[in-house]
């Protein structure tokens, strides 16, 4: 092989617990992106990394090599400071729909490059594609023009941004190497750094409906990404937020868009509003803007940006959104207090109703999903409606109900409650500190 490197030697070195040199990493990532290293050899290296990990230096170099595999956007010519947000994914997480126009209404530019859902966690692009006419694919020129004019854009990442990550992501999905924290961090941060934003706020979900089920692993992931941002000159802050219960009251594409619009009008569920305002506050502070995001929700300015953002991408913000043809309810089998509403169970139910996809090429049912009529702590009587199940295909109801077995617990006493924002990690901090309550 070229450049004096051999893929097998690199695989063996990492397999045996050694540290790879910067030139070894640069060559391996570049050669794989160029098709010179085959999938089976990169699969072996990914498994070795999953087993042995990467040192901070290795991870910084690995991420830089992924960025260097494609283009890096230059947003320095915009008249507003740029700041973005990334969520590690949850159930009912429609925060981006509210957050991007909200932060733009406060004076920043938000270049939100998003993805589609896979499995029980939804995708922002799927939600927005339920709006008639809206398009996810924009050229770099269209994206920058919209950022300057509107202040916010939510779109798909172009093929030129970190193309090595696109190949590696697909490979990890089929080789059992998805769970590696260094590989997760490099995947997320390579795209966000290549995007060209000056600052980034991470929403790292913790709980049964999240990729990271416990606080320790979520904290490790957040700290790793904060460190990567610092190493690449991007100011990064992370909020760890609770995801044991679905966020808001809806799970499903058009259902979540309706709830986001309600929130942009100053209403919406309290937990969704709280998380969104907390993230907006961090984003604005990161770029030195002194503004009150809660006020921008209440006075209509955030909703005005939403309308312009949707229209700029071909969507009709006043269009009637898709609705499911069939609705069934899940009712309480006893009286008491809702003690548990499991996010993963509800997310899988929504997926089985058609709101999500099992494979990247699958279509989604935009009207499908779950409406949560209760939250933990709510008092219910026998026969009260707990959930609404929405789908165009009534044959899906049975499997959706199966996923809810044990997901709803009704008890005699109210459950203990905690804050939705659990911790904050900042770019200048080495240790987490409690978030402001």
Specify whether the CB–CB gap between 264 and 182 falls below 8 A.
no
Query: CB 242: neighbour CB atoms within 10 A?
Result: 22
Distances in whole angstroms, Cα of residue 283 to Cα of each of 46, 235, 276, 292: 33, 10, 10, 12
How many whole angstroms from its chain centre is CA 402?
Answer: 26
Q: Classify residue 298 by its DSSP letter.
A: H
pLDDT band, residue 337 (cuts 50/70/90): very high
Query: In sequence order, which residues have a C-beta less than 8 Å from that of residue 384 and are 6 or more positions away?
Result: 331, 332, 373, 374
Average pLDDT rounded to a whole number, residues 147-161:
92
Output the furthest CA–CA distance in the chain (Å, rounded). Answer: 72
For 316, residues 6+ apart whose C-beta sits below 8 A from its C-beta are 131, 132, 133, 310
The CATH code of the domain at 2-68 is: 1.20.970.10
Q: Which residue has the higher pLDDT, 298 or 436?
A: 298
Whether pLDDT at 87 is above 50: yes
Q: Could you list the active site residues? A: 86, 165, 172, 187, 191
pLDDT tens-digit map of 241-256: 999 999 999 999 999 9
Hey, which bits of 222-303 come out as E strands? 235-242, 250-251
- How far apart, in whole angstroms, are the C-alpha atoms of residue 424 and residue 111? 23
In the predicted model, what is the mean pLDDT of residues 389-407? 97
Q: pLDDT band for 4, please (50, 70, 90 cuts).
A: confident
Using one digit for the tens of pLDDT, what is the confidence trace for 248-297?
A: 999 999 999 999 999 999 999 999 999 999 999 999 999 999 999 999 99
437 CB burial (10 A radius; 0-12, 13-18, 19+) = exposed
Residue 179 pLDDT > 90: no
Tokens linked to 121: 């966690």
Binned at pLDDT 50, 70 and 90, residue 169 comes out as confident
* Residue among 417, 437, 237 at smallest CA distance from 339: 417
CA angle at 111 for the pair 107 and 115, rounded to the nearest 5°: 140
pLDDT of residue 434: 37
156 DSSP β-pair partners: 114
Q: What's the whole-number mean pLDDT along residues 55-78?
A: 94
Query: Which pLDDT value is given to residue 26?
Result: 97
Quick one: CA dihedral 247, 248, 251, 256, positive or negative?
negative
- 117-150 burial string, b = 16+ CB within 10 Å, else e? bbebbbbbbbbbbbbeebebebeeeebbebbeeb
- Amino acid 3: pLDDT: 61
Say which residue, 51 or 1, is predicted with more confidence.
Answer: 51
pLDDT of residue 363: 83
E strands, 179-223, are 199-206
Among residues 398, 404, 329, 326, the alpha carbon closest in space to that of 367 is found at 326
Per-residue pLDDT band for 220 (boundaries 50, 70, 90) equals very high
Give pLDDT, residue 58: 97
As a whole-number percent, the residues of the chain with pLDDT over 70 amount to 95
Higher pLDDT, residue 355 or 428: 355
User: pLDDT confidence of 178, banded at 50, 70, 90?
Assistant: confident
- The whole-angstrom separation of Cα 349 and Cα 92 is 12
CA distance linking residue 238 with residue 423, whole number of Å: 8
Label residue 118 by pLDDT band (50, 70, 90). Answer: low
> Looking at the predicted structure, is the pLDDT value of residue 207 above 70?
yes
Phi, psi of 340 (to 5 degrees): -155, 135
Q: Which CATH architecture has domain 83-158+166-319+420-434?
A: 3-Layer(aba) Sandwich (3.40)
pLDDT at residue 431, as a whole number: 37
- pLDDT of the residue at 120: 66
Dump pLDDT digits (tens) for 29-59.
999 999 999 999 999 999 999 999 999 999 9
Residue 149: CA atoms inside 13 Å, Cβ hemisphere, count?
14
**CA 335-337-340 angle, 5° bins:** 120
Say how many C-beta atoms besides its own lie within 10 A of residue 348's C-beta. 23
Q: Two tokens at 414?
A: 């109210």
- 89-103, 355-369, 397-411: range with lowest mean pLDDT: 355-369
Tokens of 319: 């269009």
Residues 400-417, mean pLDDT to the nearest whole number: 94
pLDDT at 433: 36
Q: What is the mean pLDDT of the segment spanning 62-74?
A: 94
The residue whose two tokens read 């005005």 is: 304
Q: Comparing C-alpha atoms, which of 433, 348, 436 is closest to residue 387?
A: 348
Mean of per-residue pLDDT scores for the chain:
92
Q: Token pair for residue 234?
A: 């991007």
Domain ranges of the chain: 2-68, 83-158+166-319+420-434, 326-411
Which pLDDT score is estimated for 428?
44
What CATH number labels 326-411? 3.90.1170.30
User: What confidence category does residue 426 fall into, taking pLDDT thresholds of 50, 70 and 90?
Assistant: confident
d(CA 259, CA 248): 8
Instruction: Identify the three-state secondary structure at position 162.
Output: coil
Say what the pLDDT of residue 429 is.
34
Q: What are the tokens at 344?
A: 């993963």
Strands 83-87 vs 152-156: parallel, antiparallel or unpaired: unpaired
């Amino acid at each position: 092989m070229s450049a004096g490197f051999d893929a097998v030697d690199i695989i063996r070195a990492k397999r045996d617990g050694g540290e790879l040199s910067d030139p070894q990493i640069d060559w391996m990532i570049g050669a794989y992106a160029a098709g010179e290293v085959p999938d089976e050899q990169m699969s072996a290296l990914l498994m070795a990394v999953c087993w042995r990990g990467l040192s901070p230096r290795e991870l910084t170099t690995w991420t830089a090599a992924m960025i260097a595999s494609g283009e890096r956007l230059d947003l320095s010519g915009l008249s507003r400071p740029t700041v973005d947000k990334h969520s590690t994914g949850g159930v009912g997480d429609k925060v981006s729909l509210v957050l991007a126009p909200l932060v733009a209404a406060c004076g920043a530019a938000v270049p939100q490059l998003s993805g589609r859902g896979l499995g029980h966690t939804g995708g922002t692009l799927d939600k927005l594609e339920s709006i008639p006419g809206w398009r996810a694919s924009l050229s770099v020129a269209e994206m920058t023009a919209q950022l300057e004019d509107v202040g916010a854009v939510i779109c798909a990442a172009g093929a030129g941004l970190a193309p090595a990550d696109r190949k590696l992501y697909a490979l990890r999905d089929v080789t059992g190497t998805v769970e590696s924290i260094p590989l997760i961090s490099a995947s997320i941060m390579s795209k966000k750094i290549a995007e060209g934003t000056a600052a980034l706020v991470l929403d790292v979900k913790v709980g049964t409906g999240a990729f990271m089920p416990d606080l320790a692993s979520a904290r490790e992931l957040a700290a790793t990404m904060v460190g990567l941002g610092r190493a690449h000159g991007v100011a990064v802050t992370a909020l760890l937020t609770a995801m044991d219960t679905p966020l808001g009251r809806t799970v499903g594409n058009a259902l979540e868009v309706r709830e986001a619009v309600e929130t942009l009008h100053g209403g919406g569920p309290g937990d969704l509003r709280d998380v969104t305002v907390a993230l907006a506050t961090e984003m604005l502070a990161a770029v030195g803007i002194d503004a009150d995001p809660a006020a921008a929700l209440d006075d209509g300015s955030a909703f005005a940006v939403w309308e312009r953002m949707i229209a700029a991408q071909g969507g009709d913000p006043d269009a009637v959104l898709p609705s499911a043809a069939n609705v069934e309810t899940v009712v309480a089998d006893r009286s008491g207090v809702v003690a548990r509403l499991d996010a993963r169970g509800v997310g899988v139910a929504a997926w089985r109703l058609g709101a999500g996809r099992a494979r990247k090429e699958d279509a989604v049912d935009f009207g499908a999903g779950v409406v949560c009529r209760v939250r933990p702590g709510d008092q219910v009587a026998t026969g009260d409606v707990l959930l609404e199940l929405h789908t165009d295909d009534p044959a899906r109801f049975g499997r959706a109900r199966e996923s809810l077995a044990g997901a709803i617990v009704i008890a005699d006493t109210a459950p203990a409650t905690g804050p939705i924002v659990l911790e904050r990690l900042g770019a200048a901090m080495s240790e987490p500190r409690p978030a402001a309550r």
